[in-house]
Chain A
């Protein structure tokens, strides 16, 4: 069976107040000088196809139609065999 892991992140040009807050929290824990912290979403999908090429096509479509909003977000994914 194939499993997709999809990462959705805010575009670089868009400020991420959640990431900023977490950066401050990490710094207050002593992790000084962090360059940047950004938050995204992880979606995992167990697919109904065993064909990697088909899986790639399907997941890309899912991202474009629903999972990501191209105005504010980028997405990337990897597909791997799982038991």
Chain B
């Protein structure tokens, strides 16, 4: 199996993602420059966090037109796994691979801290090693993580079990108090209907080793590897 980490001008979490795949997951991984047009040899694409194109206009709005994004849309249509983390999630929303949009954090601050999220759906390629409702400690670091979708959209997300992670308290209460950024329904991560494109605001690559304060994020990468192994029979 082969992982690819996309690099846009302004990405800044690509090395962390690369490091986790290569040194913690021990799987082959390559950087993919955003002007690249060939994704054929990859099984999973990671859109990392950062400030692609300086977040000018709106987060992800300009990255949307990078040549690689068209390829990633085709890749996703063919069933390839795509995970967007933080700015990667914002880009997936702008290209409409995931529904909804991001607004500025409700308190207008850049929030950089550990949060807890609840695993609402563990039947995905990205979360199959978590228990249902497992509470995970992961860091967030963003200015625009206030997820928004219209009422019908939210209904569909709920109906199709597309909400994968919800912000919660340490004890697992999903409420206003445990919502760091104002995100609708405490949404921290969603998946597309087909189940192969995940976007999430917390950073699993920054919480994949004990030395970093939490390794709760690592099972995301391990779940992906397990799922790919199963699918490819390797």
Interface residue ranges, A against B (CB under 8 Å): 10, 14-15, 17-18, 21, 66-67, 69, 71-72
B156 to chain A, nearest CB (A): 14
**Would A17 and B107 be within 8 Å (CB), given that A66-B57, A69-B101, A71-B101 are in contact?**
yes
Interface residues on chain B, number (Cβ under 8 Å): 18
Q: Do the beta carbons of B61 and A69 come within 8 Å of each other?
A: yes
A75 to chain B, nearest CB (A): 12
B134 to chain A, nearest CB (A): 31
Main SS class of interface, A:
mixed
Q: Which chain A residue shows the least CB distance to B148?
A: A72
B157 to chain A, nearest CB (A): 14
Extra A-B contacts (10), CB below 8 Å, given A21-B108, A66-B65, A72-B103: A17-B104, A17-B106, A17-B182, A66-B62, A66-B64, A67-B57, A69-B58, A71-B101, A71-B148, A72-B101
**Would A66 and B108 be within 8 Å (CB), given that A14-B103, A72-B101 are in contact?**
no
Residues of A with C-beta under 8 A to B62 = 66
Residues of B with C-beta under 8 A to A10 = 103
B57 to chain A, nearest CB (A): 7
